[in-house]
């Protein structure tokens, strides 16, 4: 079984300061990990994904995440927040079953990022 | 490039009325297709997924159903809506049999049941 925990339901930062959104996962197998962003009343947009290549993954809009197996973490960071980053962020884990079936993704409950001017 | 469409964008329906939400994907063949629901203040819940025409797997028991009449068309239906069916419905697609199984989401449909 797999699970994902987003440690903060809300994060508030000032514009221009660093962003850290925390995510821990558990998985019986080597996971694939994703971060998605959702702006109000919009679909989810893929920010980045980890698939057992480089542990530091760079995504769109200046975001990056580091896979740390020893800590079972996949935290999302950005050096300098912009007002347009205000949105809901979802950490997601995916594990391909032994049978290779079409597994759904397991979503975290989301972190609401607030950017203060 | 691939695109995914959902309609309608918003819908207000009375309790007990039928429902039909449509999702279509362009620019890819034989995708996996998914329906999710996002209720207010909650995460995403996988409702159905499909690996091919006529092949539907249900993740949770409910009064909703899904159908895949064509390779790139996925429909979510209900015969009688409940108040608890209100939420934001998202369709997604992924390539077949990919280990990463990245899913790409549509713009969503906001359903309000009154």
β-strand partners of B49: B34, B57
CATH topology of domain A3-116: Immunoglobulin-like (2.60.40)
The predicted pLDDT at position A100 comes to 46
Q: Domain holding B68: CATH number?
A: 2.60.40.10
A51 touches chain B (CB under 8 A): yes
Q: What is the pLDDT of residue A28?
A: 72
Q: How close is the nearest chain B Cα to the Cα of A34, in Å?
A: 8
Give the pLDDT of residue A47.
97
Q: What is the pLDDT of residues A15-65, one digit of tens each?
A: 999 999 999 999 877 788 999 999 988 999 999 999 877 899 999 999 999
CA distance B70 to chain A (A): 18
Neighbours of B43 (CB within 10 A): 17
Peptide bond into B32 cis (omega under 30): no
Residue A54: strand, helix, or coil: coil
Residue ranges covered by each domain of chain A: 3-116
Question: SS3 for chain B, per residue?
Answer: CCEEEEECCEEEECCCCCEEEEEEEECCCCCEEEEEEECCCCCEEEEEEEEECCEEEECCCCCEEEEEEECCEEEEEECCCCHHHCEEEEEEEECCCCCCCCCEECCCEEEEEC
Q: Are A102 and B104 a contacting pair at CB < 8 A?
A: no
- Scan residues 29-48 of A and list those with Cβ closer than 8 Å to B: 32, 34, 36, 41-46
Taking contacts as CB-CB distances below 8 angstroms, the residues of chain B near A6 are none
Domains in chain B, number: 1
pLDDT of residue B60: 77
Is A20 within 8 Å of chain B by CB?
no
Tens digits of per-residue pLDDT, A77-92?
999 999 999 999 999 9
Which residues, at least 6 apart from A84, have a Cβ–Cβ distance to it below 8 Å?
Answer: none
Print the domain residue range for B69.
3-113
């Amino acid at each position: 079984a797999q699970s994902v925990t987003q440690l903060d339901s809300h994060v508030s930062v000032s514009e221009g300061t660093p962003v850290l959104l925390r995510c821990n996962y558990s998985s019986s197998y080597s996971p694939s990990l994703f971060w998605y962003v959702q702006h109000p009343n919009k679909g989810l947009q893929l920010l980045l994904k980890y698939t057992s290549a480089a542990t530091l993954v760079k995504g769109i809009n200046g975001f990056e995440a580091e896979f740390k197996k020893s800590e079972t973490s996949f935290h999302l960071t950005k050096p300098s927040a912009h007002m347009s980053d205000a949105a809901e962020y979802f950490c997601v884990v995916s594990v391909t079953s032994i049978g290779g079936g079409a597994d759904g993704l397991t979503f975290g409950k989301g972190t609401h990022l607030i950017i203060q001017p | 490039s691939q695109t995914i469409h959902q309609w309608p964008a918003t819908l207000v329906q009375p309790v007990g009325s039928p429902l039909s939400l449509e999702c279509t994907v362009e620019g890819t063949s034989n995708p996996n297709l998914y329906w999710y629901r996002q209720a207010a203040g909650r995460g995403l819940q996988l409702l159905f997924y499909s690996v091919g025409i006529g092949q539907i797997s249900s993740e949770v028991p409910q009064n909703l159903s899904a159908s895949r009449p064509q390779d790139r068309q996925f429909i979510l239906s209900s015969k009688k809506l409940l108040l608890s069916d209100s939420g934001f419905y998202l369709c997604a697609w992924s390539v077949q049999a990919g280990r990463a199984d990245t899913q790409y989401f549509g713009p969503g449909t906001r359903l309000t049941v009154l």
